[in-house]
Amino acid sequence: MTLSLFLILAAALFAVGLYGLLSQQSIVMIMMGLELAISGIIVAGAALWYFVVPGGPNAEALVVVALTAMAVEMAVGFAIATAIFRARDVDMVDSASDLKG
Amino acid sequence: MLVVETTIFGISALASVAAGIAVFRVNSMARATFALLASFILAAVPILLLGLTFLGVIVILMMIMEMMIMLVFMIMYMMNPAGLMPMKMVHNNKMSFIISVSVFVILAVGAVLTPWPRFGAPSDVDPTQMIGLDFMGPHMLVMVVIGLVLFATIVSVVVLAQARGRYDRYGDDLRTRPPNDPVRTGLGR
ipTM of the prediction? 0.91
A16 touches chain B (CB under 8 A): yes
What confidence score (pLDDT) does residue B36 get? 94
Q: Looking at the domain assignment, is residue A15 inside a domain?
A: yes
Q: Which residue of B has its CA nearest to A54?
A: B122
Q: Looking at the domain assignment, is residue A101 inside a domain?
A: no
Domain span at residue A12 reads 3-91
Asked which of B54, B81, B108 is the last residue of a domain, the reply is: B81
How many domains, in total, are found in chain B?
2
Cβ within 8 Å, pair A68-B146: yes
What confidence score (pLDDT) does residue B19 get? 95
Residues B75 and B10 in one domain: yes
| Residues B114-170: tens digit of each pLDDT | 998 888 777 788 888 888 898 999 889 999 999 999 999 999 999 988 888 888 888
In CATH, what number is assigned to the domain containing residue A53? 1.10.287.3510
Q: Which residue of A has its CA nearest to B44?
A: A43
Q: Looking at the domain assignment, is residue B74 inside a domain?
A: yes
What confidence score (pLDDT) does residue B79 get? 66
What confidence score (pLDDT) does residue A67 get? 92
Spell out a b/e string for B156-175, using b for 16 or more CB atoms within 10 Å of the CB, else e: ebeebbeeeeeeeeeeeeee
Residues B8 and B72 in one domain: yes
Please tell me the distance in Å from B176's CA to the nearest CA on chain A.
Answer: 23
- Restricting to A residues 37-96, those with a Cβ less than 8 Å away from any Cβ of B are 39-40, 42-43, 46-47, 49-58, 60-61, 63-65, 67-68, 70-72, 74-76, 78-83, 85-86, 91-92, 94
pLDDT-derived band at B102, boundaries 50, 70, 90: very high
Cβ within 8 Å, pair B46-A82: no
Residues B133 and B76 in one domain: no
| Residues B41-93: tens digit of each pLDDT | 999 999 999 989 999 999 999 999 999 988 888 888 776 666 666 667 788 88
The reply to whether omega before A54 is within 30° of 0 (cis) is: no
Cβ within 8 Å, pair B24-A67: no
Of the candidates A58, A61, A71, the beta carbon closest to that of B66 is on A71
CB B160 within 8 A of CB A80: yes
Q: Which residue of A has its CA nearest to B80?
A: A26
Strand, coil or helix: what is B113? helix
The mean pLDDT of A51-55, rounded to a whole number, is 85
Cβ within 8 Å, pair A94-B163: no
What confidence score (pLDDT) does residue B143 get? 92
Q: Looking at the domain assignment, is residue B121 inside a domain?
A: no
Q: Looking at the domain assignment, is residue A99 inside a domain?
A: no
Cβ within 8 Å, pair A32-B23: yes
Residues B77 and B3 in one domain: yes
Give the Cα separation of B1 and B15 in Å (integer).
Answer: 21
Domain span at residue B16 reads 1-81
Rounded (10°) CA dihedral A9, A10, A11, A15 = 100
What is the model's pTM?
0.89
How many domains, in total, are found in chain A?
1
What confidence score (pLDDT) does residue B84 get? 62
Give the Cα separation of B49 and A64 in Å (integer).
Answer: 18
Residues B70 and B131 in one domain: no
Q: What are phi and psi of B171, to 5 degrees?
A: 85, 170
